Amino acid sequence: MASDPIHNKYRQAIHEVLKPKGFKKIASTWYLHTPETILIVNFQTGIGGSHYLNASVYIRCLPPVTLVTVPEWPHEYECHMRARAEEVMLRKEAIEIFEIYNCTEKESIQRLKNALTEHVLPSLYELKTAEAIKTVLRSPSDLDGYKLKNGARFNTILHGARLEFFLNVKNPAPFQYTFPTFLTYSTHADGFQAVYMRDKKKLIKELDTFFEEFATLVDDSEAVQFHIVETDKDTNGQSTKPLCKRAIALFGEPKFISKGPLRSQLNWQLPFSMLEQCIDFLEAEKPFPKYANTAHGQEYTRDCVSWITCYLNFRWKHLSPISNVLKPFDFIEESGIILLLENTNSIDLQLNFPFETPNKEFLQMIEKISALLHVKMPSRYFRLRSPNKERTRYREEKITF
**pLDDT tens by residue, 357-382:** 788 878 887 887 777 776 677 777 78
Tell which wins on pLDDT, 160 or 265.
265
Is residue 174 in some structural domain?
Answer: no
- Report, as an integer, the average pLDDT of 288-311: 52
- What pLDDT digit, counting tens, does each position of 56-83 carry? 999 998 877 665 666 789 889 889 999 8
At residue 125, the pLDDT reads: 95
**pLDDT tops 80 at residue 302:** no
Q: In this structure, are 381 and 300 located in the same domain?
A: yes
**pLDDT tops 60 at residue 310:** yes
Q: In this structure, are 215 and 295 located in the same domain?
A: yes
At residue 50, the pLDDT reads: 76
Q: Report the candidate in 364, 319, 348, 358 with the shortest Cα–Cα distance to residue 183.
A: 358
CA pair distance 91, 172, nearest whole angstrom? 34
Is residue 331 in some structural domain?
Answer: yes
Domain boundary among 122, 140, 167: 167
At residue 308, the pLDDT reads: 64
CA pair distance 19, 346, nearest whole angstrom? 51
CA pair distance 254, 266, nearest whole angstrom? 6
**pLDDT tops 70 at residue 26:** yes
- Report, as an integer, the average pLDDT of 342-364: 73
At residue 151, the pLDDT reads: 80
- Report, as an integer, the average pLDDT of 33-42: 95
Q: In this structure, are 302 and 188 located in the same domain?
A: yes
Q: In this structure, are 349 and 376 located in the same domain?
A: yes
Domain boundary among 144, 167, 190: 167
What Å distances lie between residue 38 and 33, 132, 322, CA to CA? 5, 14, 42
Q: Which amino acid would we find at residue 282?
A: L
Q: In this structure, are 199 and 156 located in the same domain?
A: no
Is residue 163 in some structural domain?
Answer: yes
- Report, as an integer, the average pLDDT of 233-246: 69
Q: In this structure, are 73 and 97 located in the same domain?
A: yes
Q: In this structure, are 153 and 270 located in the same domain?
A: no
Is residue 389 in some structural domain?
Answer: yes
What Å distances lie between residue 48 and 1, 41, 91, 92, 368, CA to CA? 9, 22, 21, 21, 54
Q: In this structure, are 200 and 344 located in the same domain?
A: yes
SS (H, E, C) the chain: CCCCHHHHHHHHHHHHHHHHHCCEEECCEEEEECCCEEEEEEEEECHHHCEEEEEEEEECCCCCCCCCCCCCCCCHHHCCEEEEHHHHCCHHHHHCCCCCCCCCHHHHHHHHHHHHHHHHHHHHHHCCCHHHHHHHHCCCEECCEEECCCCCEEEECCCHHHHHHHHCCCCCCCCCCCCCCEEEEECCECECCCEEECCHHHHHHHHHHHHHHCEEECCHHHCEEEEEEECCCCCCCCCCHHHHHHHHHHHCCCCEEEECCCCEEEEEEECHHHHHHHHHHHHHHCCCCEEEEECCEEEEECCCCCCEEEEEEEEEEEECCCCCCECCCCCCCCEEEEEEECCCEEEEEEEEECCCCCCHHHHHHHHHHHCCCCCCCCHHHEEEEEECCCCCCEEEEECCC
User: What is the percent of the chain with per-residue pLDDT over 90, rounded to a whole number?
Assistant: 16
Q: In this structure, are 39 and 90 located in the same domain?
A: yes
Q: In this structure, are 186 and 150 located in the same domain?
A: no
- Report, as an integer, the average pLDDT of 340-344: 66
**pLDDT tops 60 at residue 169:** yes
What Å distances lie between residue 180 and 125, 141, 142, 211, 352, CA to CA? 34, 35, 37, 25, 12
Q: Which residues contact 130 (CB under 8 A, 6 or more apart)?
A: 36, 37, 59, 61, 166, 169, 172
- Report, as an integer, the average pLDDT of 229-243: 65
CA pair distance 310, 335, nearest whole angstrom? 19
Is residue 86 in some structural domain?
Answer: yes
Tell which wins on pLDDT, 170 or 142.
170
Q: Which amino acid would we find at residue 47?
A: I
Q: Report the candidate in 391, 272, 385, 401 with the shortest Cα–Cα distance to residue 330.
A: 385
pLDDT-derived band at 105 (thresholds 50, 70, 90) equals: confident
Identify the burial level of 112 via C-beta atoms within 10 angstroms of its C-beta, where 0-12 means exposed, 13-18 middle and 19 or more buried.
buried
Identify the burial level of 264 via C-beta atoms within 10 angstroms of its C-beta, where 0-12 means exposed, 13-18 middle and 19 or more buried.
middle
Is residue 173 in some structural domain?
Answer: no
- Report, as an integer, the average pLDDT of 19-35: 95
Is residue 176 in some structural domain?
Answer: no
Domain boundary among 167, 197, 219: 167
Q: How many domains does the chain divide into?
A: 2
* Domain containing residue 92: 5-167
User: What is the percent of the chain with per-residue pLDDT over 70, rounded to a whole number?
Assistant: 65
At residue 379, φ and ψ (nearest 5 deg) are -65, -20
Q: Report the candidate in 183, 119, 104, 112 with the shortest Cα–Cα distance to residue 151.
A: 119
- Report, as an integer, the average pLDDT of 223-232: 75
Whole-number mean pLDDT of the chain? 75
- Report, as an integer, the average pLDDT of 342-370: 75
Is residue 172 in some structural domain?
Answer: no
Best-predicted range by mean pLDDT (105-114, 132-141, 239-248):
132-141
Q: In this structure, are 136 and 68 located in the same domain?
A: yes
Q: In this structure, are 221 and 278 located in the same domain?
A: yes
Side-chain-side CA neighbours of residue 332 (13 Å): 23
Best-predicted range by mean pLDDT (203-207, 246-250, 299-303):
246-250
